[in-house]
Structure 1
Amino acid sequence: MAKLFIYVFVILFAATEVAAHEAPTGEDSSLLRAIEKGGYILYLRHGEATVGEDQTELNFNDCRTQRNLSEHGRDQARAFGVIYGKQLIPIRYPVMSSPYCRARETAEIIFGKQNVVVAPVLASIEKLRIESYPAEKKQQILSDLSKIFETPPAHGTNTVIVAHTFLPHVALGDIPNLGTVIIKPKGTGRGYEIVGRISFDQFIQLTQDLNTSHIRR
């Protein structure tokens, strides 16, 4: 436990140092205040994954056939786990995760294994990156994802999804490791709006500021 505490302290300190060069804007702070009230989808890309590779005969139940989290990626997820554990942001459980090990492990580290449900449709995001994949099938994937992104969460909560990045200019676009895309659902059949993007470092800094303001209240 002591080792984990030191680990988290180091990652938070490092993130704060980096955030000094990538300072959150007033708009970011306002957005985080809005998330406090619920009504959004928080789409997270998994942590850094550099171990192994996705094999042709990939098996979702066998992480040896996939590209997996690096130790740094796990550190990122642990830092997020500390933040979400403070319950500053209302979350609708369970959170949804892609079945890929790198996404599932990220979600389980942050939110706890018991609070994660696998959504098979999220695995299809990786197929969007394959040039030879049929265009009509890609369109179906995007349609299925839109149905998720346009569905509002329960009142006063936020839906969390942990999955993958997209190609630039496709759906949610390019997302850095553990970057968060904030989506405002408009309701079934009405689409959704991307209202903000927060990097890992910005999110660490913003939630530290939010925690400080809660303490002062």
Structure 2
Amino acid sequence: MKKGLLVSCLVVLTHLLFACPALTEMSETQALQALRTGAAVLFLRHATAPGFGDPPGLVIDDCQTQRNLAEDGREQARLVGSFLRRQGIETALVYSSQWCRCLETARLLGFGAVRELPALNSFFAKPQRGPEQTRQLEMFLQEIAFGRPIILVTHQVNITAATGVYPASGEMIVYRPAPGGGGTVLGRFIP
């Protein structure tokens, strides 16, 4: 096993053991209502992108150096957007990792402008950055004005560090941040 992969796995396990937010027994309807009203945010793992991690030499502004969505991933992203609209979510603030597969997922949801948020960038290849990025994301969640749907398109390691959930590609996690940090997972959805 490569040393970087081993370290990444240990970081994820540490977060799962020591930083897991609570999971409530909330109905799907209640979880989606919390998202609709802005009482919770939606973490979305980017849609299906073939491969694992990223190739060496990744350049954020050059999609040719990254893993990207395949056509089934593009369709999956459109299905997520359709699912959300069927749940009564017509508008949303959408934030994304700067990785191309996340930005494309975010755009294909069909909610308009996508805002890049570096705190959502993957730290898979550099797990030592995980605690600081997770802290920055928690600060963002403490400072953002709620009251409307907010979608955060990011990577598995980021979602696991923030919520304690290991999501599938295209999986949605409804999460209610707590004042002062941490939070509660309200529901999980795969369209």
Task: With the length of structure 2 as denominator, give the TM-score of the two structures.
Answer: 0.73
CA contact (8 A) 1:52 1:66 kept: no
Partner residue, 1:16: none
Distance apart, 1:64 and its partner CA: 1.0
| Structure 1: gaps spanning 5 or more residues | 1-24, 202-217
CA contact (8 A) 1:52 1:68 kept: no
Partner residue, 2:181: 191
Tell which structure's C-alpha radius of gyration is larger.
Answer: 1
Distance 1:34 1:104 in 2: 25
Deviations 1:81-140 (A, max 9, x none): 2234567126443x100011110000001135x4101112211xx32x34x744xx4322
Q: Aligned ranges for residues 40-59 of structure 1 at < 5 Å?
A: 40-50=40-50, 54-59=54-59
Does residue 82 (structure 1) correspond to residue 72 (structure 2)? The answer is: no
Which structure ranks higher in relative contact order (CA pairs < 8 Å, sequence separation ≥ 6)?
2
Distance 1:75 1:49 in 2: 12
Partner residue, 1:117: 115
Partner residue, 2:104: 105
Distance 2:63 2:89 in 1: 31
Does residue 161 (structure 1) correspond to residue 152 (structure 2)? The answer is: yes
Distance 2:102 2:159 in 1: 20
Distance 2:105 2:86 in 1: 18
Superposition RMSD on alpha carbons, in Å? 2.8
Distance 1:53 1:174 in 2: 15
Distance 2:99 2:37 in 1: 31
Partner residue, 2:142: 150
CA contact (8 A) 1:46 1:164 kept: yes
Does residue 39 (structure 1) correspond to residue 53 (structure 2)? The answer is: no
Identity score, percent: 27
| Structure 2: gaps spanning 5 or more residues | 1-24
Q: Secondary structure at the match of 1:96?
A: strand
Query: Which amino acid is the alignment partner of residue 136 of structure 2?
Result: D
Distance 2:182 2:190 in 1: 23
In proportion to residue count, which structure has more helix?
A: 1
CA contact (8 A) 1:122 1:163 kept: yes
